[in-house]
């Protein structure tokens, strides 16, 4: 299977399937119409913004079956990913505390999932002993300087994120507007840790693209309007088909988490 990923920033989403090649072809636009300084904001759960998004939350919002989870785990491991299956959000936070050593550089992308498992609050309280590079970014009030700190922070030892979709074939799909998250996914972070609820599991990569377009994006668009005063855009999509052993870990939680 060949996946062609073109930088995209349109509000719509289209796909063409030709034999075994998936082609995503969209015009490139700028991330946002105006510069927005990143700031710490309260998370918005699916329940709080679901009605405003106008989507059917039942289509992609429920945790996958135990059978689907087992198949996904097997495929992820074959593709070189470390996988830990956890029952609850609290278990996921406990695993992160164990996995990241004291003194390690830690940075994370904006993530409702990380907020829901308690990681965002835990990172803020300072009791972890890590080098919290996210705090340094949030403390900077000059936009050009903050942007530079964000760029540098993507090279942290540990980058934490969630994903928009994980396929039963062992592929991990993520997207964001600026690229500050998927850039760390692809190369710059030394260790990548992805925390995802079982609601992110889909059959294949085409279903992953549909989930992004029909579920994750509408919810994130509503959240962005509340937080930034303007909508979001799916600007950059990354798909991890495999990785070097030991670099990327997936903490898969048997609950519905995030978008």
pLDDT in tens, 216-229: 999 999 998 988 88
The residue with tokens 């119409």 is 33
Predicted confidence at residue 3, as pLDDT, reads: 39
Tens of pLDDT, residue by residue over 162-186, are 999 999 999 999 998 888 889 999 9
* 119, 130 contact by CB (below 8 A): no
The residue with tokens 């289509």 is 59
Predicted confidence at residue 43, as pLDDT, reads: 60
Write out the two tokens for 126. 């300072």
* Average confidence score pLDDT of the chain: 85
Predicted confidence at residue 30, as pLDDT, reads: 29
- Torsion angle of the four alpha carbons 168, 172, 173, 176, in this order, in degrees rounded to the nearest 10: 150
Q: Which CATH number fits domain 2-253: 3.50.50.60, 3.40.390.10, 3.40.50.300, 3.40.50.10420?
A: 3.40.50.10420
Give the closest residue to 41 by CA, choosing from 225, 213, 192: 225
Order of all β-strands in the sheet with 16-18:
2-5, 21-24, 16-18
Q: Looking at 14-18, 41-45, 61-65, 151-155, which range is the least confident one?
A: 14-18
């Amino acid at each position: 299977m060949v996946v062609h990923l073109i930088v995209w920033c349109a509000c719509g989403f289209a796909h063409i399937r030709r034999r075994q090649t998936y082609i995503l072809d969209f015009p490139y636009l700028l991330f946002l119409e105006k510069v927005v300084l990143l700031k710490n904001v309260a998370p918005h759960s699916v329940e709080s913004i679901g009605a405003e998004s106008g989507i059917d939350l039942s289509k992609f919002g429920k945790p996958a079956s135990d059978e689907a989870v087992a198949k996904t785990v097997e495929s992820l491991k074959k593709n070189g990913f470390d996988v830990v299956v956890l029952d609850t959000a609290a278990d996921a936070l406990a695993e992160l505390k164990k996995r990241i050593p004291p003194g390690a550089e830690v940075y994370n992308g904006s993530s409702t999932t990380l907020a829901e498992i308690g990681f965002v609050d835990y990172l803020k309280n300072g009791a972890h002993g890590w080098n919290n590079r996210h705090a340094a970014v949030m403390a900077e009030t000059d936009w050009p300087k903050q942007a530079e700190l964000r760029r540098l922070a993507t090279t942290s030892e540990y980058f934490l994120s969630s994903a928009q979709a994980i396929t039963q074939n062992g592929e991990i799909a993520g997207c964001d507007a600026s690229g500050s998250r998927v850039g760390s996914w692809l190369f710059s972070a030394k260790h990548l840790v992805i925390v995802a609820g079982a609601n992110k599991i889909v059959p294949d990569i085409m279903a992953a693209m549909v989930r992004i377009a029909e579920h994750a994006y509408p919810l994130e668009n509503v959240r962005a309007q509340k937080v930034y005063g303007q909508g979001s855009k799916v600007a950059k999509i990354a798909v991890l088909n495999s990785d070097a052993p030991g670099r990327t870990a997936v903490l898969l939680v048997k609950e519905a988490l995030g978008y």
